[in-house]
Each structure stands twice: as C-alpha cells, then as structure tokens.
Amino acid sequence: MIRSSFPTSVAVFALLILNVGAKDTFIAAVYEHAVILPDKTETPVSEEDAFLLMNRNIDMLENAIKQAAKQGAQIIVTPEDALYGWNFSRETIFPYLENIPDPKVNWIPCEEPLRYGHTPVQARLSCLAKTNSIYVLANIGDKKQCNSRDSTCPSNGYYQYNTNVVYNSDGKLVARYHKYHLYQERQFDVPQKPELVTFTTTFGKFGIFTCFDILFHDPAVTLVKDFDVDTILFPTAWMNVLPFLTAIEFHSAWAMGMRVNLLAANIHHVSLNMTGSGIYTPHSPKAYHYDMETTDGKILVSEIESRPRFSPVYPPAINWNAYAKAIKPFPIQKKTFGGLVSRDEFNFTELYESAGNLTVCKNKLCCHLSYHMLGKEENEVYVLGAFTGLHGRRKKEYWQVCTMLKCKTTDLTTCGQPVETASTRFEMFSLSGTFETEYVFPEVLLSKIHLSPGKFEVLKDGRLVNKNGISGSVLTVSLFGRQYTKDYSNSGRANHSAISYLLITTLLIITALQNIELA
C-alpha cells in the first residue's frame, strides 16, 4: 500500500514541507541593554582588559538570549555599542576590534574559533546562538588591514568599522553590516558605499542597518523598496530628542511609514537620554519599552507576521498629499508666528478655540488641521506648525514636517521646546500636508512618552486621524517627512542620476525612432 501510493505521498509530503517551512508568524525579541562602560582613558587598554569588559557585557546578553529563547523567540536583536560603549578615539577602540570575515566564507566560529585568528568575541556570540538555537544580532567592531598603496588607508594600517553581525541558530555567521552614517564616531571609518545586507530565513527576509542610518535613504529605504525585506533589524544607541526624534516615537513611525517590521534595540543609559526599544509592525507597535526611572535593561518578546506585505491586513500605500492638495486651505489665521524647534524655523498658529480648522504654511508646505478637543485646558497651549528645509546645525538632511504640539508653557515663545506631560485629550484630530515626498512617518506621542497603538491611523489620502474614540493626552501629533533628494550630501549624486536618466531616456527614444523607421 505504502509503496503503491509512493508518488502521491511524496507530493503531499512536499506540500507539507512547503507549508511548514514557510511560517506565517515568528517570535521576535529585542534587548535594551544597560551597558557596562569602560573607565575613561586616553591610552589604549590591553586586549585582555578589553575582552574582560566585553565579556561582562556578553554575560548580560547571554542572560537575555537565554530568557528570550525560553519564551520561544527565534531571533533577538541587541543594541549598538552594547559591548563597550561609545566614547573612544581610533586608538582606544582598537583593542576591542576583531577581524570579521565576509559571511560567504561559511563559518561557525563556535566550532572553528581559530580559523580567522584571535576572535574570542565572535566565538562566544556564535556559541550563544548555537546553544540556544536562536538567531542573534550583535554589534561589534571590525578591523580590516589595508596598505599604503591604498591612499585612503588610515595611518595605523586598519579600517575600523562599527559592525553588526548575525549568527543563525546553528551559530553560523550569516550577515555582516558596516554602519554608513556615523554619528560623531571618530573611532570608526565610513565604508566606501552603503552596504545592502539581507539574509533569508523560514520566517521572512531580513535587512540590517544601524542607528543614525535610519534617517537617510541608503541603505534604509533601498532595503525596503528594492530588496523587499519583511523585517529590519535595528541596533541603536539613540539619544531621545523631543518633540520628533524620541526613539519609540520615530522608530515606530518609520515602521508604519515604510510598511515594514522593525526590531529596534536601544542602549539603556538614562543620563544620556538613551532608552526606548520596540517591536514595531506596519500597523502599530506590538511591544515597546521606555524607562527613565530605573537603571535596568529589559527584554521584549512578541509574535509578529513573517511576511507582512502578503497579509490581508497589510496597510495600503498612501498618497501623502492627496487630501491636502485637494482642499482649499482653511482661512489663514492672523495669529501666525515664527518659532524654533531646536534650530529649525517653523511657522506656527495657535489652536485658539477648543475646535476648529487651521492651515499654516512654510514656503511651499501647507499643513491642515481639523480638531476637536475634549476640553480646552486653561494652562495648556497647542500649536499647528510647518517646517520645510535643511535641518539643524549641520544642514544636511532636508525635512518636511507638519505638527500639532503642546507648547512647554502658555508663553508662545516656548512652543517646540521639550515637554513631557500633557492632559489635553482630543475627540478628533485630522492632520495633513502638501508634502513633496513619499517618505512621511506618522507620529503620535502621548503624555509621559507613551505611544498610542491602535488609536490612530493614516488614511489613503494622507490624513493622520485618531480612531477608536477619544485620544490619550497628547504631546504631539506629527507627519515627519524626509525629502532625501534635497539632502545636502546627496545633491551631487542626485544630479548624477538625473543625467543618467536623461541619457537612458534619450537612447530609448532614439531606439524607438529607429524601430519606427525600420517598420
């Protein structure tokens, strides 16, 4: 019997494998780690001392990895700089670095610890993944020897990179990513070009980048748009900045705006405002953590969809300016005034009544707000604001922002300054803007730095609206847009691509004309 039905059972069996092999959901973990920092020093420590410190931090990661695995997690992300902190020169970081090979060498450091020289950190991390049968992302330092024929080779003969590594559940190195957008990290070098690093598992396709990278087009946006990754692994050492760039606020908004899963693991270091990790999905945050009270780390574990873009509830693509461009601007208020959010010059208008329709413009960006407060608090003032331009002191990133935010005090000159508590709730809000970019990240931040999962959504026409009843107490409701093509560092490249585009178009037209003649 069994033999006679052999072909059928093979077919059925194959189908079963296919179905079982591709999982609909998986269990993800992120670990917010309170890193043990080295003593301040101007002179490099020995390799032994560097390893001792890293080992103490890895002991804590081990504990987190074990707990996550026990809760069924298939993958865990640990933070940037989690093994040694961030305050180094090129010389003082050097004893912490190891040579990390390209994953294509097919290496399980746990089984062959000496294959690439002295690499005790990689061996231990690989063993943690293997022993606990879980994918592990860690952030460590890579050193790559170069020689004087290479004119960019640093004087110590090594390139030094801020690097993410991923080990699979057998302990094999499956990914290596060198951070591209360094943030005041004089100890590290910038790789020649942004690296697009992905790997595939039975629970989806993964992409990787680090911290400040999230504010730029490459590799972050390209991984999602052109490489179709399902989930981004994102280690960070993120200092929170109100009102738009607090970790949980911006990272959850990026996942929604890009419609991708994002596993964000931050350092926990309260005196530098570093806290805020989360497991974010295209609809809403699944789990998040923000803690300015304790000095402890935290593990988050959550089940999420492996391939969100094939899910029946995958959010639709959004036309970010459809509504705002279609309506007539609400009558401009006489009370429009200028104000600074950090160094950026916003145009503001006050939410003077308890309900209303307002428009405020800054250059070509017009922001519209319809709102209805549950009650107008005497001691709280909100404004609608618009900003478009190169951001901050460095003036490299081009921002387009529409925001409704609570001012620090009732004095209008304090609008845009950090404020952490509010009591005003909204029966209704609807915010939109005439954005000139498709990259807009919807943020809603509530009193005491809380997110608002399930209580707001973005409509297909680009309106950010509340849902499921009265809102929580609002600090800010914002549409944070990035117009990458106007970034300062990109202008050369943008021109380049415009020229190649023109050339290709011309060639295509010539070819088409020739074909017509031939026909």
Ligand X SMILES: *[C@@H]1O[C@H](CO)[C@@H](O)[C@H](O)[C@H]1NC(C)=O
| Residues near ligand X, by CB under 6 A | 40, 42, 87, 239, 242, 272-273, 332, 336, 347, 355-357, 361-363, 370, 418, 491, 494-495
Name the residue nearer to ligand X (CB basis): 71 or 495.
495
Which ranges in 298-420 belong to alpha helices (H)?
322-326
Contact call for residues 481 and 433 (beta carbons, < 8 A) = yes
Q: What is the pairing mode between strands 75-77 and 135-145?
A: parallel
Cα separation, 509 vs 514, in Å, equals 9
Contact call for residues 234 and 179 (beta carbons, < 8 A) = no
| Least Cβ distance, residue 273 to ligand X (angstroms) | 4
Q: Treating both helix axes as pointing N-terminal to C-terminal, what angle do 120-132 and 47-70 enclose, rounded to 10 degrees?
A: 10
Q: What is the dihedral of CA 350, 345, 448, 442, to 10 degrees?
A: 90
Name the residue nearer to ligand X (CB basis): 284 or 370.
370
| Least Cβ distance, residue 420 to ligand X (angstroms) | 7
Name the residue nearer to ligand X (CB basis): 202 or 495.
495
Cα separation, 83 vs 65, in Å, equals 15
Q: Which DSSP letter does residue 14 get?
A: H
Q: What is the pairing mode between strands 398-406 and 456-458?
A: unpaired
| Least Cβ distance, residue 239 to ligand X (angstroms) | 6
| Count of beta carbons in the 10 Å neighbourhood of residue 504 | 10
Could you give the residue numbers annotated as active site? 80, 179, 211
Name the residue nearer to ligand X (CB basis): 77 or 242.
242
276: left (phi over 0), alpha (psi -120 to 50) or beta: left
Angle at 10 between CA 4 and CA 16, to 5 degrees: 140
| Least Cβ distance, residue 418 to ligand X (angstroms) | 4
Name the residue nearer to ligand X (CB basis): 222 or 273.
273
Cα separation, 161 vs 142, in Å, equals 5
For the chain, give me the number of helices (H) and strands (E)? Answer: 8, 23
| Least Cβ distance, residue 18 to ligand X (angstroms) | 47
Is residue 167 helix, strand or coil?
strand
| Least Cβ distance, residue 183 to ligand X (angstroms) | 13
Name the residue nearer to ligand X (CB basis): 25 or 273.
273
| Least Cβ distance, residue 476 to ligand X (angstroms) | 13
The token duo for 274 is 């570093």
Name the residue nearer to ligand X (CB basis): 5 or 491.
491
The token duo for 83 is 């093994």
- Is the link from the previous residue into 219 a cis peptide, with omega within 30 of 0? yes
